[in-house]
Structure 1
Amino acid sequence: MRAKKRIWASALALLLAVSLSACGGGNTPATGNNAGTTGEANSGTSGNAGEKVKLRVYAQHFDDDTSKPFDYAVQELAKEMPNVEIELDPAVQDGNQKLKTYAATGNLPDIFFTDWKTLQTFAKSKNVLLLDDYEAAKEYKANLNPGVESKIIAPDGHIYAFPDTGIEFQLLYYNKQIFQDAGISVPIKTIDELADAAKKLKAAGYVPLSIFAKEKWISTALYNALITREDGIGTAVFEKDAPAETPQAAITAAKHMKQLQEAGLFDVNATNTNYDQASSLFYTGKAAMFINGQWEIYSSQEKMGDNVDFMYWPAKDEATYEKMKLQLAGSGSPQGYAVSPQSKNIDLAVKVAAILAKKSAEYKYTQLGNPIVSPKIDKPVEATDVPAMMQRLASEVLPNAQGYAQAVNSTEISNTIDDNAQNLLVNGYTVDDFINNMNRALKK
């Protein structure tokens, strides 16, 4: 998911050319059969050192949070590879449908940024290059920060992409002034307290919590967060020990999510609301709470200053809350810059993908003070205005984190969770509906 990211706004599907630098690339087209090849000798040839090579890159480039790390990476790449020209194909927040269409029509970019679910699909259809035996992948893996191996090594043991971020997770943001005016104490520790707060906020004329649930991943992220209060591995409970029926932790979380929906926590149009609309409600003081990843910290603090903070996810009771609050609602599934096996310059594309990932992480660490990156960065933090919430993450949350959720590896189960977690936000859809649909998926 990023996407994975990361600020989910709409982008025009235009090709934006940015001139860059690099040493030569291959001239021999790779066929679909190369998708399972891991040796560099079999994955393209290298061109002459002075030859100009253009590589098309599909990447997030929506706003400062996404464009600045990419642009920085492009500038840094120019210093190392003066003969490469990067043609940016801006990603669209459509559940990777545009990227999947590219794959289906044989029009994949040389390099593309995507999530684990898409990488799984592309691995089966031989639309992503295996990176295992490439020197760039070996070096990248050797230079990872501790504990983030799952960001580069897939559950099947292969490497499909170069990650820039570390293990990211979702947070529950709130407007401090609205909470104070409404007489709501923080932190909210239990589901019942959150349901009561929703009723109070709605009566006061606010949208209690804005969520861009037009994108299924965010409703799944909320559901995952609620499961982690019961079982720290989150939605991975649907695969743990190969259950034939929906596990109890997942049922409890579904009941909690439905309880919150019935209490009016979500806007009635939540499943038709995109990121721009949901974030605008929060930034302008019309919504009291907002759900997004920790990357949202920069935008929220820029728009709201000291009037925004985050709280830990509530649980069924205070004892469970205290026990599980530092179990983070995010999983270290593979994601990042991958390479198309159809690229005419595979060897070069692999090297460029690694540099783009490393330099993007470098920007986030040095310029934003963001410690959640995959590769080790040997440069000092230059940022002098690190947001208070990011400082809180660095000092309070990350050093004391108990663990992270785990990724779901079955695309069928993952897709079923996405569909049904989103439906829990809709009137008339019941917990029994959720359980029955999940049971059918588990029995296949």
Structure 2
Amino acid sequence: MIESRKIINLILMAIPLFVLGSGCMSGRDSISTDTGLEKLPIENADSAKDKVELTFWHVYSDKEAAPLLELIETFNQSQNRIVVKTIGNQDATKQLVAISGGNPPDLALAYWNNVGPWADGGNVLELDSLMNDEHFDMNAFIPAAIERMKVGKHYYGLPFTMSILNTLLYNKKDFAEAGLSAPPETTEQLFDYAKKLIKKDAY
């Protein structure tokens, strides 16, 4: 996995970071943390295998990444087989420069719209075999989120968070007062409804 120098693209969930990091192992025990997460498969500490160090790039500042960094530190302290080292403020441009230079991180947090181009360019690992080896529970993800990680028939990333940018929030009371019974279904309806919802002399 590391020797391929292809980047494992964690697009949007911290649990998969650790599951994928241990995906090539066998003879596992299980460890659990106080984060409420499910048990993670991990190599026995007495194994003769060499220690694995994984680099993980993310797009956040240290302040923004505090919960993520806490979880990674919990994982690092929970066993002595894998060490995850993080570098923050690594946006898509910096990640692409590293990929093009042949020195990408092992794991990266990026935006979902990078999945297709990076997969087509052969820059990210196809994760199906790792998921199958680990008996990965795909039901742990919201279907719409995990589907965005798919290119063709294969998965190239795992969702980390869900954006609400594609979610319409509206006030039912205001809609009812404007004679509207349901949210708009098209952009044209959205603009039309916006005009109807304007309250003149409201203040």
What's the TM-score, normalizing by structure 2? 0.56
Q: Please, which runs of 5 or more residues in structure 1 have no aligned partner? A: 1-25, 33-39, 173-186, 190-227, 232-248, 254-313, 322-444
Q: 1:230 to 1:104 in 2, by over 3 A?
A: same
In structure 1, the partner of 2:192 is 316
Q: 1:162 to 1:76 in 2, by over 3 A?
A: farther
Task: Indicate yes or no: 2:93 matched with 1:97.
Answer: yes
Q: Give, in whole Å, the separation in 1 of the partners of 2:194 and 2:145.
A: 31
Q: Give, in whole Å, the separation in 1 of the partners of 2:100 and 2:116.
A: 15
In the alignment, residue 132 of structure 1 is paired with which amino acid?
D
Question: CA contact under 8 A between 1:30 and 1:44: conserved in structure 2?
Answer: no
Q: 1:57 to 1:156 in 2, by over 3 A?
A: same
In structure 1, the partner of 2:59 is 60
In structure 2, the partner of 1:169 is 164
Q: Give, in whole Å, the separation in 1 of the partners of 2:142 and 2:134.
A: 15
Q: 1:137 to 1:91 in 2, by over 3 A?
A: farther
Could you report, residue by residue, the CA deviation over 1:340-377 in whole angstroms, capped at 9, with x for unpaired residues?
xxxxxxxxxxxxxxxxxxxxxxxxxxxxxxxxxxxxxx
Task: Indicate yes or no: 2:4 matched with 1:30.
Answer: yes
Q: 1:133 to 1:155 in 2, by over 3 A?
A: same
Question: CA contact under 8 A between 1:56 and 1:88: conserved in structure 2?
Answer: yes
Q: Give, in whole Å, the separation in 2 of the partners of 1:106 and 1:76.
A: 30
Q: Give, in whole Å, the separation in 2 of the partners of 1:31 and 1:79.
A: 26
In structure 2, the partner of 1:120 is 116
Question: CA contact under 8 A between 2:53 and 2:84: conserved in structure 1?
Answer: yes
Q: Give, in whole Å, the separation in 1 of the partners of 2:148 and 2:134.
A: 13
Q: Give, in whole Å, the separation in 2 of the partners of 1:163 and 1:320.
A: 37
Question: In the alignment, which of 128, 138, 158 is matched to residue 141 of structure 1?
Answer: 138
Give the secondary-structure state (helix, strand or coil) at the position aligned to 2:152.
coil
Q: 1:139 to 1:124 in 2, by over 3 A?
A: same
- Deviation of 1:63 after TM superposition, in Å, equals 4.8
Give the secondary-structure state (helix, strand or coil) at the position aligned to 2:129.
coil
- Deviation of 1:31 after TM superposition, in Å, equals 6.4
- Deviation of 1:103 after TM superposition, in Å, equals 1.1
- Deviation of 1:58 after TM superposition, in Å, equals 0.5
- Deviation of 1:106 after TM superposition, in Å, equals 0.8
- Deviation of 1:146 after TM superposition, in Å, equals 6.1
Could you report, residue by residue, the CA deviation over 1:73-115 in whole angstroms, capped at 9, with x for unpaired residues?
213322554222222121334xx11111111111110101112
Q: 1:49 to 1:71 in 2, by over 3 A?
A: farther
Q: Number of residues paired by the alignment?
A: 151
Q: Give, in whole Å, the separation in 2 of the partners of 1:114 and 1:30.
A: 19
Flag the structure with higher helix content: 1
- Deviation of 1:50 after TM superposition, in Å, equals 5.7
Question: CA contact under 8 A between 1:60 and 1:90: conserved in structure 2?
Answer: yes
- Deviation of 1:147 after TM superposition, in Å, equals 5.6
Task: Indicate yes or no: 2:168 matched with 1:159.
Answer: no
The correspondence of residues 354-369 of structure 1 with structure 2, limited to 5 A, is: none
Could you report, residue by residue, the CA deviation over 1:230-287 in whole angstroms, capped at 9, with x for unpaired residues?
53xxxxxxxxxxxxxxxxx5xx59xxxxxxxxxxxxxxxxxxxxxxxxxxxxxxxxxx
The correspondence of residues 252-271 of structure 1 with structure 2, limited to 5 A, is: 252=188
The correspondence of residues 13-412 of structure 1 with structure 2, limited to 5 A, is: 29-30=3-4, 48-49=47-48, 51-64=50-63, 66-78=64-76, 80-93=78-91, 96-134=92-130, 135=132, 138-145=135-142, 148-152=145-149, 154=150, 156-165=152-161, 167-170=162-165, 229-231=184-186, 249=187, 252=188, 315-317=191-193
Q: Give, in whole Å, the separation in 1 of the partners of 2:75 and 2:111.
A: 23
Q: Please, which runs of 5 or more residues in structure 2 have no aligned partner? A: 7-19, 27-42, 176-182, 198-203
Q: CA RMSD in A?
A: 4.1
Q: Give, in whole Å, the separation in 2 of the partners of 1:320 and 1:91.
A: 43
Q: Give, in whole Å, the separation in 1 of the partners of 2:5 and 2:87.
A: 22
Q: Give, in whole Å, the separation in 2 of the partners of 1:160 and 1:106.
A: 19
